[in-house]
Amino acid sequence: MLDTEALPGLGRVERGAALEAWLGRLLDDAVAGTPPARAARGGPPRTGTDGVALVAVGSLGRRELPPYGDLDLVLVHDGRPEIAAVADALWYPVWDTGLRLDHSVRSVAEAVAVASTDAKAGLGLLDARLVAGDAELAARLRAATLASWRQHASRLLPQLRDLRRERAARLGELAFLLEPDLKEAYGGLREGQVLRAAAAAQLVDEPAAEVERAYAFLLDVRDELRRRSGRATDVLVRQEQRPIAVALGLADEDVLLREVSLAGRRLAFVADETWRRVEAALVRRPRGRYRRIRREPLAEGVVRQGDEVVLARDARPAADPGLLLRAAAAAARADLLLSPYTLKVLAVHGPPMPEPWPPEARWSFLRVLASGRSAVPVLEQLDQEGLLSRLLPEWDRVRSLPQRHPWHRYTVDRHLIEAAAAASELTRDVDRPDLLLVAALLHDIGKGWPGDHSVVGEPIAAAIGTRMGFSEPDVAVLGTLVRHHLLLPATATRRDIDDPATVERVAATIDGDASVLHLLHALAQADGAATSASAWSPWKAHLVAALVARVQAEMGGTQLSEPQPVLHPTRPQVTAPAPDIPGATRSVTVGIEDVADGQQVTIGAPDRPGLLSTCAGVLALNQLDVRAAKLTVVDGYGTGVFAVRPRFGRAPVPEILADAVRAALEGTLSLAERLRQREADYHQDTRSAPPRISWHNHEVSGRATGIVEVRAGDRAGLLYRLTAAIAGEGLDVTSALIETLGGDAVDCFYVANPSGSPVDPDQRARVDAALVAATRGAGVLTAGDTPP
């Protein structure tokens, strides 16, 4: 019997050998235990395994069977009439062990017929290897399958390409995923198998050694993943990453994810190049002789040849340090790629770049960056050949560096390249487009070092700018852009931009330089576009633009003409009767307006402590996520303006909101209890990191006497709980800036004592404790009462 429990602990080779030896015995027993049928035309009965072969395909055929992997087996025969009985005697013992089996029974002709029309079947049969039985029959199968694959490559390879593209669109690119599918994501193990299949069709070379190393590393990671999880899974989930890293001798989970990214990028890069070669070969093949390809000059020493950029015949790469960037610029500007041979020549023969860079080299580099989207694959080519790190040695520190924030789509290096591509669309909005492009490429370079990446990145960016040959004033601006690239979005989303103190602080930070202000605005847009839609929504873009307008007016000494407030009251659409509470003489009103990225809800009601909390609770109860909020009070009547987004796509109904606010003010609607039940219904996870609470009292003016900033895991009703906690400690919330980033909320509240006195340390400590409890969904209110 086979010891299936011991199989996962064996190495790939030992595991495959144990299974094959056992399968060989099963085949012998199956043939021996099946009464021989008389051969056709009255010949003698067939005996032994003559004319029968058990062939492994898939991972077992490649000797790569992972723990808990499927057995892909083909029982090949040459017409033995008792083959069905042999198959039954063979498959049932396999099923009895609990092993997963994918099986078929074919003659050589049948197998080839299937493989000639089905790309997946053909790909599997290319790995066919004899396990037991008739070796000559198995050799015939392999030879016939290979010949068929080559004969039908023009039909099968495009099928395979389309399959990979569909899975890439569905599963993403392995190199940029925090929990990648090691097999099917683009750049995963499947790419290694496809590369061998293209080589088997004799359209491209066999995969190089670095490709095989990347493939072998992903195999090791998958094997350890399956051992750790105890099941057949290919998704490298977060909780398994640290133990897998330790098992493979790596420092931690970030190192593991980085190595996985590097391997996936190599496989994806070579796969992209392979598909280009295959498509070109398939286009040319039917025409018989190759036609002469015209060469078109693009730049000094650089020509276009077909759909690639190559070196001119008179190019002298060893004596021309600017040739690399000139060729890259020519390729990017023409929306082409450098040929692989050209990349190899430049990598081997190209001299070091002089320091500082010659003006022509810097100009070429800026032309690459200014090419936008077409620059991304060219820069990836330079990166994969080690040429980008040769130009920017600091680049190695951020290559494939993972970003654990869920709103980041890319590793750090790819994010920087994407940001530069996005910045290329904004160069006409600034005085110095060159500085914008370089700053976009370097704004997160500090993430490769310990510490605050903005602070750490400033001297690194300055050193790179100096090496590139920028002047001292320009280098200083580059440093400022990197140091303060988060200034505008952080201020716009976490401070009241109508507060003069906020505007003055931003202007002072950039020394009143309007050019730097516009560069930072463009850089913020590029950074956000390269991150994700969640990180740079239309609402956030509007906030930043409004802040820039106010700072510009402050620095110019002029008043804003007819400003459009970020939050402006919407005309009431529904009026509910006045709440039945002492002193309430005015009705509750609700107005709703469609705006970018959701709706704006304006709620008017008689003022009372905790009014903002009441409104926030009603919005949460109606499944509306609050993105920003502000409350103003005039003559005892409060007006709250909320930017909201429906959590489940249902637009708010003004009548329902108005009735709920009135009922909550009267005390007939138990907000706390209803929200507690809603939280239980949705099983919200409270195991997030501890909240972070900070105060910024020196940044306020007007009625507010303090700013309290809360960073915590997002949850339904969080704004309601936080504002209720603040009100419960006797403070009024005059306005709030709310932002949700992935699973985290960053909420800033402008608070004031009704008496006008500052918030003292004891009161601040009590507020802190109440806010911590509120982020955990506990200790805010008793059954359903709003604050008195």
667-677 residue pLDDT tens: 899 888 888 77
Which range of 58-67, 715-724, 755-764 scores highest in mean pLDDT? It is 58-67
pLDDT recorded at residue 416? 97
pLDDT recorded at residue 428? 80
**Mean of the per-residue pLDDT values of the chain:** 87
Number of residues written out for the chain: 788
Say if CB 174 and CB 261 are below 8 A apart.
Answer: yes
Of 639, 642, 617, 638, residue with least CA distance to 628: 642
Provide mean pLDDT across the span 633-651: 82
Round to whole Å and give the CA distance between 295 and 312: 9
Say if CB 640 and CB 611 are below 8 A apart.
Answer: yes
pLDDT recorded at residue 238? 93
Of 499, 422, 388, residue with least CA distance to 749: 499
How confident is residue 564, by pLDDT bands cut at 50, 70 and 90? very low
Provide mean pLDDT across the span 466-472: 95
Of 694, 665, 670, residue with least CA distance to 771: 694
- Does residue 697 carry a pLDDT above 90? no
Question: What are the structure tokens assigned to 267, written together?
Answer: 């496989």
49-74 residue pLDDT tens: 788 999 999 999 999 999 999 999 99
Provide mean pLDDT across the span 233-247: 95
- Does residue 683 carry a pLDDT above 80? no
- The maximal CA–CA distance of the chain, rounded, in angstroms, is 112
> CATH number of 155-286: 1.20.200.10, 1.20.140.10, 1.10.3720.10, 1.20.120.330?
1.20.120.330
397-407 residue pLDDT tens: 999 999 987 77
Q: Please tell me the class of the 7-151 domain.
A: alpha beta
Give the start-to-end residue ranges of the domains of the chain: 7-151, 155-286, 320-391, 394-559, 574-775
pLDDT recorded at residue 689? 63
How confident is residue 250, by pLDDT bands cut at 50, 70 and 90? very high
Round to whole Å and give the CA distance between 417 and 415: 5
205-219 residue pLDDT tens: 999 999 999 999 999
How confident is residue 701, by pLDDT bands cut at 50, 70 and 90? low
Helix crossing, 611-621 with 671-681: angle to 10°?
A: 40
- Does residue 780 carry a pLDDT above 60? no
Question: What are the structure tokens assigned to 766, written together?
Answer: 């009590």
Q: What percent of the chain is modeled with pLDDT above 90?
A: 59
Cα dihedral sign for 181, 185, 189, 190?
Answer: positive
Question: Do the domains at 155-286 and 574-775 have one common CATH topology?
Answer: no
Question: What are the structure tokens assigned to 745, written together?
Answer: 């909320």
**Residue 547 vs residue 738, higher pLDDT:** 547
497-507 residue pLDDT tens: 988 999 999 99
> What residue type is assigned to position 383 of the chain?
D
- Does residue 1 carry a pLDDT above 80? no
pLDDT recorded at residue 608? 84
Say if CB 398 and CB 415 are below 8 A apart.
Answer: no
pLDDT recorded at residue 635? 85
Say if CB 380 and CB 368 are below 8 A apart.
Answer: no
HSE (side-chain half, CA atoms, 13 Å) at 414: 22
Question: What are the structure tokens assigned to 722, written together?
Answer: 């936080």
- Does residue 621 carry a pLDDT above 60? yes
- Does residue 239 carry a pLDDT above 90? yes
Least confident of 268-272, 560-564, 623-627: 560-564
How confident is residue 747, by pLDDT bands cut at 50, 70 and 90? confident
5-25 residue pLDDT tens: 888 888 888 999 999 999 999
Round to whole Å and give the CA distance between 661 and 634: 19
How confident is residue 557, by pLDDT bands cut at 50, 70 and 90? low
Say if CB 711 and CB 746 are below 8 A apart.
Answer: yes
How confident is residue 476, by pLDDT bands cut at 50, 70 and 90? very high
Round to whole Å and give the CA distance between 261 and 174: 7
Of 487, 402, 409, 406, residue with least CA distance to 443: 487
pLDDT recorded at residue 148? 93
pLDDT recorded at residue 781? 44
Question: What CATH superfamily is the domain 574-775?
Answer: ACT domain (3.30.70.260)
Q: Please tell me the class of the 394-559 domain.
A: mainly alpha
